[in-house]
Structure 1
């Protein structure tokens, strides 16, 4: 048997490392917490819908509960970003996890006891959305601060791959458990997952992070974040692009996709396979970005947004199921490449002490008009027809992506070897010393 132990140069034996050198304690804790939380959350989305239906609710009631979660998420995002830049971010994330744990636990208890009412489920869903609004800006991109700049792309790609894998596995396991034991127990598992994730984040080593200087007020913080956004053409161009891209992608996949599948593709099973192919593509994209480091990070990333127009076009035709699966798989790869490069750009260019505020504007832009788009998808179909609506979705994605490429800074932003952000007279956190997480436990990577 081969002896894999090696001398450590000090008379002892050094055990072989199973993790790469850049994956330190904080990074490992953050990745583990993200995997646990997303395993639970992916299944809970299915469980919540069947919990509503199990009480005699209609499809409209399912939509109302989903909307109840989305609205506070949009409303509180900007406040959540300002709070995360005023308080220690790991504490904001732990508190948000605790709120999600309590809300999901109460949701599970009501369902298991048969006492759930529609308004109660809507209120608890709204509490979950509120927790997400504070969690997301505090966590977005922070995993990149736990590794050195030269490894940031690889680290975030591995993080995303782990998170996407957890989402795929969680959705499959959640669906099976809903059928086997009922939605209440799946919601209870999600509550436990949030508890475990919060506990892991509580053990982050943050002693080396300097305290933030006192700020002058919440509104001033929001104005500072806004100035950071509008002062960078590449930033507001891509946020504006994805405000519409996200909306039409969600409308096409949530409203038109199931209808096309029901009428032309053979029902929900092929549509489920298509969504699974997309998820597999995101894992493939993350694997690719662990090996590839493009120099023109935004040019490469934005070019990879063009394939997002293909699923709508494929549904408009509609293409056979095998072709649709290939389209969805390729789109997943492209979107993940964009997501990794986008976070590398933010980490490189945005000052750490203002990162959460900028991230909250990014999230807000990506989500603000999505509820309206899904609500208008039906009336637009009635007005111009589903095929025309789907081609319109594809055209909007292509036109807005081309417009973003017209911005010079989008084409010219390059990867710096250090990967560290510029600082404008503010104390700098050295690469490799950050202590929070990029885990969003929900939509990540703009159109994800």
Structure 2
């Protein structure tokens, strides 16, 4: 006789949240809890060792540079080897580098070059991890449920990031940055163990092909052959750069000089985080038919925080602007992931993701480096208005690409299907990073 409790147990998890999706989500929550606290801890470790703001910037750059250098290679390798093995290996590298960083800090008197070298190793691990992880996530859900699955995944990640930053800050105050770095190393170890259990039996074995350069060329053909794809990647190379410069350089300065210190800026960033959670909740229910049109229109509000800092708005107004921009960037983020899942062949997921990541981060170090000289040359307010104008201009330009306006959602899609390059949609049916 069947137990009446059995159907209730099965109903606790939606049918689209399969084993791989659940493992990926759980592992990402763990690593986000650790990593966002560790980012704060690394900065305080530099300061406590006698460094200044310039030294903090050097350590941050040491993380970003290998990310830019190795992303495309990481994407090619992730489409050549089993993705879960690439993810586990990257997690192992991150675990070792963060553990060594923690030991240095706890032992006392870490040298700047040592912190830069270990942070660079962590960035290298991320360069190989990110394309493999996104490719694995894209292959873990069916097209019919992709929108909801990606929204829930991003909501979990954002929630963990907010919690990790808050927990990390509290731990730094209580026990120091070294222990936060140690917790991050443990988080990478646990997440890597979970990812080792991912099932890749459903992913077709990749046939023999050319070398690494051939794989990179193949990935580039996939990107360049789809106008909607390369146009939005180019758009976000500018958007991420100027928004990153405004928030990492100008935001704290405006808060210190005109809003009363770090607390108002922290509140504004918290409002942005709350907005991303709200946006993810919205996208679990809303499935815009024209994926990229809806997503691109929701990029325009990213110009508002820079404008709010230029005025500057009082703390409550700035927080409201940041909340709205958090909501809208999630609309874009989920729509973008759904479009990639729908349009890109499964065996090229990671290479395309690598080009996407590369476009998003390539100009960020340059933009943050030029933020100070731009302020000196034009003034802070003018520089912020310039950031806002650039977001509007490049986003408006993308809307001139027909496929961005016309790509529509397919209601039923086999994960990893391979539509023709550049195909915008079936006109008859309901079909079609920062965040």
Matches within 5 A, 1:31-430: 31-420=25-414
Residues 39-97 of structure 1: CA deviation (Å, up to 9, x unaligned): 00010000000000111011100100000010000000010011011100000000000
Deviation at 1:107, TM superposition (A): 0.2
1:11 Cα offset (Å): 12
Q: Distance in 2 between matches of 1:383 and 1:207?
A: 57
Conserved in 1, the CA contact under 8 Å of 2:95 and 2:186?
yes
In structure 2, C-alpha distance between the alignment counterparts of 1:84 and 1:13, rounded to whole Å: 38
Contact map agreement 2:71 2:358 (CA 8 A) in 1: yes
Structure 2 vs 1, CA of residues 77 and 17 (structure 1 numbering), >3 Å: closer, same or farther?
Answer: same
Distance change (3 Å), C-alpha of 1:131 and 1:184? same
Aligned 8 A contact 1:152 1:419 in 2: no
Contact 2:346 2:418 in 1 (8 A): no
User: Does structure 1 conserve the Cα–Cα contact (< 8 Å) formed by 2:347 and 2:416?
Assistant: no
Structure 1 residues 13 and 142: alpha-carbon distance in aligned structure 2, compared to 1, 3 A threshold: closer
Closer, same or farther: CA 332–205 of 1 in aligned 2, 3 Å:
same
Measure, in 1, the Cα distance between the counterparts of 2:213 and 2:287: 38
Deviates more, 1:169-178 or 1:144-153: 144-153
User: Residue 207 of structure 1: CA displacement?
Assistant: 2.8
For residues 153 and 421 of structure 1, the distance between their equivalents in structure 2, rounded to whole angstroms, comes to 12
SS of the residue 2:409 aligns to: coil
After superposition, give the CA deviation of every residue in 1:347-391 in whole Å (9 maximum; x if it has no partner). 100111011111111111111111000000010111111111111
Q: Is the 8 A contact 2:142 2:415 kept in 1?
A: no
CA change 1:16–1:222 in 2 (3 A) is: closer
Report the Cα distance in structure 2 between the residues aligned to 1:11 and 1:17, rounded to whole angstroms.
10
Task: Provide the rounded CA distance (Å) in 2 between the counterparts of 1:235 and 1:150.
Answer: 21
- Which runs of 5 or more residues in structure 2 are unaligned? 421-432
Deviation at 1:209, TM superposition (A): 2.7
Rounded to whole Å, the distance in 1 between the matches of 2:101 and 2:216 is 33
Deviation at 1:294, TM superposition (A): 0.6
Structure 1: tracts of 5 or more residues without a match:
1-6, 427-445
Of 102-111 and 22-31, deviating more is: 22-31
Q: Which secondary structure does the structure 2 equivalent of 1:140 belong to?
A: helix
Shift of 1:12: 7.6
Residues 422 and 203 from structure 1, CA distance in 2 versus in 1: closer, same or farther, beyond 3 angstroms? closer
Q: Label 1:126 to 1:422 Cα distance change in 2 as closer, same or farther (>3 A).
A: closer
Q: What is the TM-score of this pair, normalised by structure 1?
A: 0.92
Return the alpha-carbon distance in structure 1 between the equivalents of residues 40 and 355 of structure 2.
28
Q: Distance in 2 between matches of 1:361 and 1:267?
A: 38
- Counterparts of 2:214 and 2:136, CA distance in 1: 23
The C-alpha deviation readout for 1:194-236, integer Å capped at 9, x for no partner, is 0000000001122333321122100011011111111000001
Contact preservation (8 Å) 1:144, 1:155: no
Is the partner of 1:193 in helix, strand or coil?
helix
Using a 3 Å threshold, how does the CA distance of structure 1 residues 374 and 25 change in structure 2: closer, same or farther?
same
The 1:108/1:299 distance shift into structure 2, 3 A limit, reads same
Cα distance in 2 for residues equivalent to 1:206 and 1:150: 20
TM-aligned CA distance change 1:213 to 1:322, over 3 Å: same
Cα separation, 2, equivalents of 1:200 and 1:170: 19
